Amino acid sequence: MKAKRDEVRIGFYVCHCGHNIAAMVDCAAVARYIATLPGVVLSRDYKYMCSDPGQELIQQDIREYGLNRVVVASCSPLLHEHTFRGAVTAGGLNPYFFHMVNIREHDSWVHTDRVLATEKAKDLARAAVERVVHHKPLEIKKVPIHPDVLVVGGGIAGIHAALTLANAGKKVFLVEREPSIGGHMAKFDKTFPTLDCAACILTPKMSEVGSHPNITLWTWSEVVKVDGYVGNYTVQIKRKARYVIEDLCTGCQDCIAHCVYKEPKFDDLFNERLGKRKPVYIPFPQATPQVVLIDPEVCLNFKRNKNPDGTPVVSDKCKKTCVEACGEKRAIDFTQKDQVVEIKVGTILVCTGFKTFDARRVPAYGYGVYPNVYTALEVERLVNASGPTGGQVVLRQGTNPDGSPKNPRSIGIIHCVGSRDKKTNLWCSRVCCMYSMKLAHLLKEHTGAEIYNFYIDIRTPGKGYEEFYNKLLEEGTHFIRGRVGEVTDWAMTPEEEGKLVIRVEDTLAGVVRRIPVDMVVLATGLEPQADADAVRRLFNMSCGGDGWFLERHPKLAPVNTFTDGVFLAGCCQGPKDIPDTVAQAGAAAAEALALIDKGYVEQEPNTAHILDAECSGCKSCIPLCPYTAILFDETRQKAYINEALCKGCGTCVGSCPSGSIVQNLFEDAEIFSEIAGVLADEPVAAGRPGNLTQAAIP
Amino acid sequence: MEIKRTIKYEADRVPGFGREVMSVPGCEALEHCIQCGTCSGVCPLSIYMDYTPRQVMELVRSDFKNEVLRSHTIWLCASCYACTVECPRQIRITDIMYELKQRAIKEGVYPPRFPIPVLAEEFTKMVRNHGRISETRLVTRMYLRTHPLAALGMAGLGLNLMKTGRFSLTQDRIERHGEMEKLMAAVDRENGKADA
Amino acid sequence: MSQAPAPAAAPAANPRDWSPRIVAFFCNWCTYTAADLAGVSRLKYAPNVRVIRLMCSGRVDPQFILDALARGADAVLVGGCHPGDCHYVEGNYKMLRRHQLLQRMLTDLGIEPERVRLEWISAAEGEKVKRVINEMTEQIKALGPLGLPRKFAEWDREVIALAREVHARDAAAGPCPAHAAAPQPGETVHA
Amino acid sequence: MKYAYFPGCSLKGTGRAYEESLLPVLRHLGVEVQEIEDWNCCGATAYMAVDEGKACAAAARNLALAERTGLQQMLAPCSACYLVLNKAQHYLNEYPAMRRVVTRALDSLGLQCRGDTAVRHPLDVLLNDVGLDAIRQKVTRPLTGLRVAPYYGCQIVRPYATFDDQANPTTMDRLLEALGATVVHWPLKTKCCGGSLTGTLPEAGLRLSYILLKEALKRGADVIATVCPLCQFNLDAYHAKIAARWEPVRIPTVYFSQLMGLAFGLAADQTVLHRSMVPLRFQPAPVART
């Protein structure tokens, strides 16, 4: 150990990061102090270490001063470790002769006392200097990448990403849980701010997905299990029974026409329950794939009770006019079961989207109590020409003087429902201002009604968005700045009779108003999917405190996750509009492509290995490894680690009773010297403080 | 036409007032106010207020102490807590109103003969002296101090209360009287210590 | 700490006043990232903790904790992913088991179990990093210094004195090969 | 089932009909209550407006006296008392400084307050402890045909409600239905009656009472059922003034406990309907029980 210490030549650099570090840490003092430590031949402070001149400085110093260890105290290693390892390599050293100290995120940014923050920086830097002595040269491992990609979720994000990848010649599996791809966008009538028809821009992409030779589209399917690691994932997908053989169905829909139910009778979920469908159905006319499915919950050919495994029981009680109508195609199969298929892919794109806020959670707005209170998504269907009313805006309750269903003459649109509220969701859902204005425009166009927008703040940060707001103002739509207090049906004045009354403070005028309307539209916010937490676990991702999937870094790695090879796109990462979603999907696809075309991934060589001579063969490590990377050689009675399977968690190392397992980059000697380093008042002498600790270990 | 200058100068502010209010238990969340107006929207009495509850929140936060303590708003609050449960930032607006009432009473800045603080004062006096409230007695005292003539208008009501056996001018009191006096004195003593 | 002794939590405090020294082992994926998030969010917390990054809380060898205490730490904080969220499936559970055993052992050694704390902090919980560190700093401040190195030194002195005494007595009583060499000062002997 | 009972000042004064009808109903259902000895005024909303420390101390004296009974649960029928006692407990548990002051102040009276007594409303106890089945069993004269507007007012559901929904409470609805009455859909069930403003600022306060009465009549109610002595007073006592200001909106307002007594077939001196200024004229017919 002592001899080694004499051989090391450490270069130490402390970064000012402009004022980010220098304002709270006396960088020069840190550099002066570190210079006094044994083994340190050079100690510098510099304004921006990550800049080109900063990196060149390291390279020059390595050559000029013969450095064989480098320590940089700057930001988080999660941000720039890679950068500095590159600089060290360029200087001619093995990149693992480097260690990084975090004195920005963990020090200057979180403390308020310059003296104490500087002391902390010295402690952390000293620990790194102690640690780096023990570093060894390591080889970067290269793992080949399977070129196929899994895209989870067939909304606009998944569709765009899948097409980008497929057009680049990659094989893509697109898995969607609903019977058709299209997601929320397929339900929209128009898109803001250009007002182009959502179907017109989406359906060509949907059919391209359906017919693309490189895309395997599995709808009505869910990912149930993910194993493996970047480049080599094994994924199990449950293909739920449709009771229709996909390959045989031509989408002629004769079965629907001939169903024993003459009229549609069951809630049409695609139309937000505003319309009805039959037990055999296709979710919407442009659905992709054009394949029908049967709902066993309501189909007469199934019993209402289930098998013990949850699968429906065929009753055979129905006349099966659908089968008759299908005729020679024989696509209907009541005995179909859920199937699990397994695929191998190298990368995964998670594009699982969002759900809309449940308006019932804000009881003051009367959704579910007053029939003429609608959610925005319901109104999207109501104004849609292919919607349940053929684009007629008619209310659930009330009639016109001629007895026809009532058309609203006045409409209140309440923004921020469920958003910006500590009791529900604190975040701004980003799209509600714009879609509310879009709906205001469409509703005015369809009905000529007076439209009131009730908003807290109008947020139009997008290309052409403020111009759209301006257009709405020109159209005479009323904008009232105030969060609505309540929607009620009791009248105080004659003109309020029979209306929904919105009570609100017009905060700009400074008066409380009561505004009677025929229809209330709730601009519900966006929320993580109900099962986001389960999905996150499936792909080993993280969620933010608000439940959205967490990107690796909001600015530098916005589509990466903490799991290599798993990427994010669309609203599953946070609320965003269609342009941003498509841009992000393209970015995620590009990240995946970059990985695939490189052909391999470099892996941190932080794997573990067993020192043969010291292994006692107790086997206690074997069940600890979650990757079954530890094997046992019966003839030699020794354990050994398959380094290809090892992920480098170090759990086995932490529990080996004989201390015979070594984790690269996290060797015991490295960690003990780091402990000693942060605590030492004096430069550390090599070795442990005493044998109490050893004696104490049972 | 009578015109009034409404501009506010920095000298009209009482710097630190907002912070002071926000440091009172229950009033902390005011710093998160986004001025959405939900409080005014749900307040059944906001239609009579000179400043809406939302405006009061902003005036407090911006240190306009005099405007706030002299406003009618704080006295119109009927403590129904609708604003408190609906506020999207979970600001306990009712408790802030209580705090402002306390300060207005302490500083004596309310209109003379204004019945609400008088009622509050008479109420606390009665609790301190007797431990219990005799409602008809309390209300009678309030009218005598504010609008003695209006009390005459209440005669019909008094008569009806008598008819239904609900009128009483005897003072109900706790048995160990003196305890309330002692308790309140002890609170004063403890608070004094904390201030010192 | 080179010149100044341990840092103090309160900004205005005299650095010469005692203030706890806490060593933390944070897992790379959740807690270390959460501490980064606390930094990015500019949350302010006590400057008493020195973080050592490991890939997983499962890597934390109980010896690391005892070594830190023996070298003068007043407390040790271990941070890992929430149960079920471990990047390596279940390393955090392994740490939990070791932690429970260690707590019992600390009690036996007469060290307050509060001095070793295990917390699950996800990558999104920057706020929790702040809360836990502040809480723990206050708690350890209340407990006072652990001072194991000083105690070791005392014990060393006692043992050496005792050995000398025995040696002297033995020498007076006559030669005895078993007690030929008494330990010299400076040499480390722990009971 | 036994509860420490905190009547509060109103139940001994203008709201005596509440106590006079509630206690027999509870007795009839086998619920025992023990009045807290030497209780004092809870402080109501007025005290909070003067000094919250003292308001808390006044409330805490009652909590301490309740703890002395050894009963874990405390019944507070008046909405203001229910709110204030709950609020004091929240404050004592949330704010250590407040707790310190109050603890020392109580010390001077030789009292301690742990702050763990559950402060409960009779509706909560009737529905969750007694249960609707037990109540249905006691109904001998179902209130068939009586259309009731259930009025919860503000302070039992806000802000510390735990036993019912803040926006749309239903405990009294279910109770009234169990008595055989018809519950009228009435969206104002948690709106404010005006509180003490009916006396101090009649223009503002009485208007709120007026709206409640008007809307109840409009929705076809025969009677308003209330849980709070101040609400009852405001909705019952000011009809002449309301008629003079706006329009006559005569509809009786009684306590839910009076309706329970009526359905249980209790004597007139236990339903005390004569205490209302606008009388409820409804006599339910007995049914033969099998």
Per CB-CB distance under 8 Å, the chain A contacts of D211 are 492
Q: What is the mean pLDDT of chain C?
A: 84
The CA distance from B38 to B41, in Å, is 5
Q: Judge whether residue C177 has pLDDT over 80.
A: no
The per-residue DSSP string of chain D comes to -EEEE---SGGGTTTHHHHHHHHHHHHHTT-EEEEPTT-----HHHHHTT-HHHHHHHHHHHHHHHHHTT-SEEE--SHHHHHHHHHHHHHHHH-HHHHHHHHHHHHTTT----S-PEEE-HHHIIIIII-HHHHHHH-SS--TT-EEEEE--STTTTTT--SS-SSS--HHHHHHHHTTPEEPP-TTTTS---TTHHHH-HHHHHHHHHHHHHHHHHTT-SEEEES-HHHHHHHHHTHHHHHHHS------EEEHHHHHHHHHT--HHHH-GGG-SS-----PPP----
- The interface predicted TM-score of the complex, written ipTM, equals 0.81
| Rounded to 5°, angle at Cα B190 from B186 and B194 | 165
C and A: touch, per 3+ CB pairs < 8 A?
Answer: yes
> What would the mean pLDDT of C116-135 be, rounded to a whole number?
95
Contact A655 C123 (CB under 8 A): no
Euclidean distance between the first and the last CA atom of chain D, given in angstroms as a whole number: 28
All residue ranges of chain A with pLDDT < 70 are 1-6, 681-698
Question: Which of D165, D187, D218 lies nearest to residue A488, judging by beta carbons?
Answer: D187
Q: Judge whether residue D97 has pLDDT over 60.
A: yes
Q: Which stretches within chain C are classed as H helix?
A: 31-40, 62-70, 91-109, 126-143, 148-173
Give the CA diameter of chain D: 60
Tens of pLDDT, residues D116-135:
899 999 999 999 999 999 99
The pLDDT assigned to C180 comes to 46
Q: Which of residues 41-70 of B touch D (CB under 8 A)?
A: 44-45, 48
Distance from CA of D3 to the nearest CA of B (A): 21
Distance from CA of A433 to the nearest CA of B (A): 15
The CA distance from A67 to A56, in Å, is 14
The CA distance from D22 to A616, in Å, is 78
8-state DSSP, A652:
H
Task: Find, among A97, A141, A134, A138, the residue nearest to A667 by Cα.
Answer: A134
Q: Judge whether residue C11 has pLDDT over 50.
A: no
Half-sphere exposure of D201 (CA within 13 A, CB side): 20
Residue of D nearest to A361 (CA): D167
Distance from CA of D47 to the nearest CA of A (A): 28
- pLDDT band for position D290 (50/70/90)? low
Rg (CA), chain D: 19
Surface-to-core class of residue A662, CB atoms within 10 Å of its CB (0-12 exposed, 13-18 middle, 19+ buried): buried
Distance from CA of A417 to the nearest CA of B (A): 10
> What would the mean pLDDT of D71-85 be, rounded to a whole number?
93
Per CB-CB distance under 8 Å, the chain D contacts of B132 are 9, 12, 40-41
β-strands A661-663, A608-610 pairing: antiparallel
Question: Which of A363, A364, A490 lies nearest to residue D215, judging by beta carbons?
Answer: A490
| Rounded to 5°, angle at Cα B141 from B135 and B146 | 125
Amino acid (1-letter code) at residue A53: P
Least trusted range by pLDDT, from A194-203, A658-667, B45-54, D159-168:
D159-168
Residue of A nearest to D169 (CA): A363
> What would the mean pLDDT of D48-73 be, rounded to a whole number?
89
Question: Which of B41, B54, B90 lies nearest to residue A422, judging by beta carbons?
Answer: B90
Per CB-CB distance under 8 Å, the chain A contacts of B32 are 422
Distance from CA of D7 to the nearest CA of B (A): 11
Tens of pLDDT, residues B85-140:
999 999 999 999 999 999 998 898 887 778 888 888 888 888 888 899 888 888 88
The pLDDT assigned to D196 comes to 86
Tens of pLDDT, residues A425-456:
999 999 999 999 999 999 999 999 999 999 99
Q: What's this model's pTM, rounded to 2 decimal places?
A: 0.84
The pLDDT assigned to D221 comes to 96
Cβ atoms A174, A215 nearer than 8 A: yes
- pLDDT band for position D178 (50/70/90)? very high
Who has greater pLDDT, A177 or B149?
A177
Chains contacting chain D through 3 or more C-beta pairs under 8 A: A, B
Tens of pLDDT, residues D185-235:
988 999 999 988 888 888 899 999 999 999 999 999 999 999 999 999 999
CA distances from A371 to A385, A524, D216 (A): 22, 17, 22
Chains contacting chain A through 3 or more C-beta pairs under 8 A: B, C, D
Residue of C nearest to A127 (CA): C52
The pLDDT assigned to B193 comes to 67
